[in-house]
Amino acid sequence: VRNFRELEHAIKTGQAVTFHYLNRSKEERHRRIFPKKLFRRKEATYCRAFDARRKEYRAFRLDRMNELKIDLRGKHI
C-alpha cells in the first residue's frame, strides 16, 4: 500500500507528515497530520491521525494521499 512504510515510521518516531489529500468531492487539499495508527476497513487502509488544521482526530484513506513527506518541523507532544 502506497505511503504505508512512511506513515509507520512517522507513528514510531512521533513525527508529523504533510501530503495532498483528495476528498470525496474530488477536491485536493494540503494536510499536516500527526499519525497515530494504521488500520483496514473493508478494502481500504486508513490512518488515524490528529489533523493540525482542524485540531481534531480524523481518519484518512492512504489511497487518497499524494506527495506524502515526513515533516521535519517537530514532533507532536
Please name which of 24, 32, 36, 38 lies closest in space to residue 67, comparing C-alpha atoms: 32
- pLDDT at 77 (0 to 100): 47
For residues 11 and 62, is the Cβ–Cβ distance under 8 A?
no
Q: Which residues of 39-51 are buried (b: 16+ CB within 10 A; e: fewer)?
A: eeeeeebbbebbb
Q: What is the pLDDT of residues 46-76, one digit of tens each?
A: 999 999 889 999 999 999 999 999 987 766 5
In this predicted model, what pLDDT tens digit does every residue of 5-39 receive, in sequence order?
999 999 999 999 999 999 888 899 999 999 999 99
Residue 66 CB neighbours (<10 A): 12
Say what the pLDDT of residue 33 is. Answer: 96
